[in-house]
Amino acid sequence: MIRRAISLFFFACAALCAFAYYDRYYKWRDCFNELGRCFDPETASVYLEQSGIAWALFFIILIIPALILWFKKPKS
Q: Are 21 and 52 in contact (CB under 8 A)?
A: yes
Q: Structural domain tally of the chain?
A: 1
Looking at 19-73, which runs of residues are DSSP E strands?
37-40, 45-48
Which pTM does this prediction carry?
Answer: 0.83
- Cα 60 from chain centroid (whole Å): 7
Q: Look at residue 75 in the predicted model and tell me its pLDDT.
A: 76
The range of the structural domain enclosing residue 21 comes to: 2-71
Pairwise CA distance, residues 6 & 42, whole Å: 39
Among the listed residues 58, 48, 68, the one whose alpha carbon sits nearest the alpha carbon of residue 15: 58
Residue 76 lies in a domain: no
38 falls within a domain: yes
The pLDDT value given to residue 1 = 83
Kindly state whether residue 43 falls inside one of the protein's structural domains. yes
Whether residue 25 is contained in a domain is answered as yes
Beta bridge partners of 48: 37
Question: What is the model's pLDDT at position 40?
Answer: 87
Q: pLDDT tens digit string along 9-63? A: 999 999 999 999 999 899 988 989 999 999 988 989 899 999 999 999 999 999 9
